[in-house]
Amino acid sequence: MTHYQSIRQQVIDYSRKLADDGYLKGTGGNVSIRMSGENVLAITPSNQDYYQISADHICIYGFDGTPIAGTLKPSIEMGFHSAVYQARPDVGCVIHTHQDFASALALIAKPIPALFDEQVRFLGRSVEIIPYAPSGTGMLVRQVRRCVQNHHNAYILRNHGALCLGPTPERVYHNVLLLEKAALSYLLALYTEEKIGKIPLPIREIAFAKLRREQKKIEQQLAAQKG
């Protein structure tokens, strides 16, 4: 299955990079990459140490759940990864983590407002809370599918963790870091109980419009490829 080797290798490389940085701990979290031009994704297997597996262990599945390559069981969250790709043609990579500071906001259900220019430019107008549903369930898939329609690139899963999206693995990796930085700053600011300033509304809209333009460009390119 050399056809999928490049995205399999990228899934393993980014999983290890995130584990090295402390964003993926143990076997928690999962990483997937869309196979360009196909309804197929490469995703981390369920319950495997990212340092013990190689690219050949990365699962290849159709968005409808059809197994294509790999002998291990895929992540139990494959359903919401597939749902994101189907709902958002601009997304090429999905990373789900249990990162500490975003997870703290998941416990108090505090969406992150527009605090920093860079945050809005890459993550969206705000980081919303996706309502709670148990891991690996159809209920969680439905919640994710509904919430990602707002074209943002980062979400907090209530009582669970974080979900970051974007066009490329490099960008989504950057989004994971950006989310954690915003979450930590917001938590510290909340702790002071002082008034928290947000970026001005017109600036927020300019920054978000840049993100939307980029997403629309990708959608148009895909539409052109399909002819």
What is the contact surface with Zn ion in residues (CB under 5 A)? 161
How many residues are listed for the chain in this entry? 227
Measured from the CB atom, is 24 or 211 closer to Zn ion? 24
> What is the smallest separation between the CB atom of 135 and Zn ion, expressed in angstroms?
6
Q: Which residue's CB atom is positioned nearest to Zn ion?
A: 161
Q: Where are the alpha helices (DSSP H) in 21-99?
A: 78-87
**CA dist., res. 178 & res. 127, Å (int):** 11
Measured from the CB atom, is 183 or 211 closer to Zn ion? 183
Measured from the CB atom, is 112 or 156 closer to Zn ion? 156
Residue 122 near residue 175 (C-beta atoms within 8 A): yes
**CA dist., res. 131 & res. 109, Å (int):** 9
> What is the smallest separation between the CB atom of 155 and Zn ion, expressed in angstroms?
12
> What is the smallest separation between the CB atom of 98 and Zn ion, expressed in angstroms?
6
93 phi and psi, to 5 degrees? -150, 140
Structure tokens at 18: 């995130």
**CA dist., res. 124 & res. 210, Å (int):** 10
> What is the smallest separation between the CB atom of 47 and Zn ion, expressed in angstroms?
12
Measured from the CB atom, is 70 or 161 closer to Zn ion? 161
> What is the smallest separation between the CB atom of 1 and Zn ion, expressed in angstroms?
27
Measured from the CB atom, is 115 or 133 closer to Zn ion? 133
Structure tokens at 78: 């494959």
